[in-house]
């Protein structure tokens, strides 16, 4: 089975970062398709709330004509803002919404705070039949997310499993999968290189499949759970301060990441096919 190539709008980090110079949001599906993507998760960096619901329905139609599946992602601690994203997810006809329970300043919720938030939004999720995919991010340990979500139906509250975000909490990808994998709705795949000494370490990005993460083991773990996973590539591309150069680096890393993921999944399927 062929895996559709997916990515989040963070693979266009530098293209979208400056709102004054970013392309119009309706151009994003065409840009994604030109880059070789078949799935695009449009996240908060693309400013999705700038488009009304009717515009999202039209964008879904245009993306479908291009052969692109689109969904949404948001970062908010406000149930009312989440409701606006649910409106747009419903307009898209999508079945899930990725959520980061933090704000840009890194404010985070405790397990009790997460449960209080979910108590307010789960009725809307259930009535709309939309599944929340809470992403393990920088400030909240995966163990806290697992503890908080455990009392809600898995078909309503699940996880977006990111293989690298939890390094800040000293949780490697295997620990994240152990804690959140049973409720995985989708996956964010990125790669990195770690440099360190006996007094500290730093993490830098790499195209997927070219860093230190065990990409083959990750894919084995994902495909052991489902034969048709929703996988979205991301990159931690370094900034030089030159927007043009940074946009070009984003594009080059995405091209490499797509090629590497395609080769890894192709070799996996070939190995699994009996002679």
At residue 271, the pLDDT reads: 46
- pLDDT digit string, tens, across residues 132-184: 999 999 889 999 999 999 999 999 999 999 999 998 888 999 999 999 999 99
Q: Are 42 and 16 in contact (CB under 8 A)?
A: no
Domain that holds residue 73: 6-272
At residue 202 the predicted structure's pLDDT band, cuts being 50, 70 and 90, is confident
Average pLDDT, the chain: 93
Does the pLDDT at position 270 exceed 60?
A: no
Cβ neighbors of 203 (< 8 A, separation 6 or more) are 164, 167, 192, 193, 194, 236
Phi, psi of 71 (to 5 degrees): -145, 180
* HSE of 9, CA atoms in CB hemisphere, 13 A: 26
At residue 185, the pLDDT reads: 98
Where residue 233 sits, what CATH number does that domain have?
3.20.20.150
Domain-located, residue 241: yes
- Looking at the structure of the chain, the number of domains it has is 1
Please state whether beta strands 39-42 and 69-75 pair in parallel, antiparallel, or not at all (unpaired): parallel
Least confident segment among 76-85, 153-162, 181-190, 266-275: 266-275
Domain-located, residue 1: no
- Count of positions (residues) in the chain: 275
At residue 2, the pLDDT reads: 83
H or E, element range at 232: strand 231-233
At residue 109 the predicted structure's pLDDT band, cuts being 50, 70 and 90, is confident
Cβ neighbors of 141 (< 8 A, separation 6 or more) are 166, 169, 171
Domain-located, residue 148: yes
């Amino acid at each position: 089975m062929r895996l559709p190539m997916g990515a989040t709008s963070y693979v266009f980090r530098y293209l979208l970062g400056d709102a004054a110079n970013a392309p119009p949001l309706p151009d994003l599906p065409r840009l994604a398709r030109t880059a070789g993507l078949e799935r695009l998760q449009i996240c908060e960096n693309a400013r999705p709330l700038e488009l009304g619901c009717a515009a999202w329905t039209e964008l879904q139609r245009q993306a479908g004509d291009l052969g692109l599946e689109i969904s949404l992602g948001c970062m908010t601690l406000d149930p009312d803002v989440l409701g606006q994203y649910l409106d747009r997810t419903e307009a898209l006809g999508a079945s899930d919404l990725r959520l980061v329970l933090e704000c840009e300043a890194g404010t985070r919720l405790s397990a009790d705070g997460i449960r209080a938030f979910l108590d307010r939004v789960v009725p809307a999720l259930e009535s709309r039949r939309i599944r929340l995919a809470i992403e393990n991010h920088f400030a909240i340990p995966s163990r806290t997310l697992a503890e908080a979500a455990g009392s809600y139906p898995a078909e309503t509250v699940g996880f977006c499993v990111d293989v690298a975000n939890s390094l800040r909490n000293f949780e490697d990808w295997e620990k994240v999968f152990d804690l959140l994998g049973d409720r995985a709705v989708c996956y964010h795949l990125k790669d990195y290189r770690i440099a360190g000494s006996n007094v500290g370490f730093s993490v830098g990005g790499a195209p997927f499949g070219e860093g230190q993460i065990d990409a083959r083991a990750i894919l084995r773990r994902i495909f052991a759970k489902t034969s048709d996973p929703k996988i979205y590539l991301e990159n931690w591309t370094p900034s030089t301060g030159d927007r043009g150069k940074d946009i070009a680096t984003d594009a080059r890393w995405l091209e490499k990441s797509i090629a590497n993921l395609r080769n890894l999944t192709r070799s996996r399927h070939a190995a699994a096919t009996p002679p």
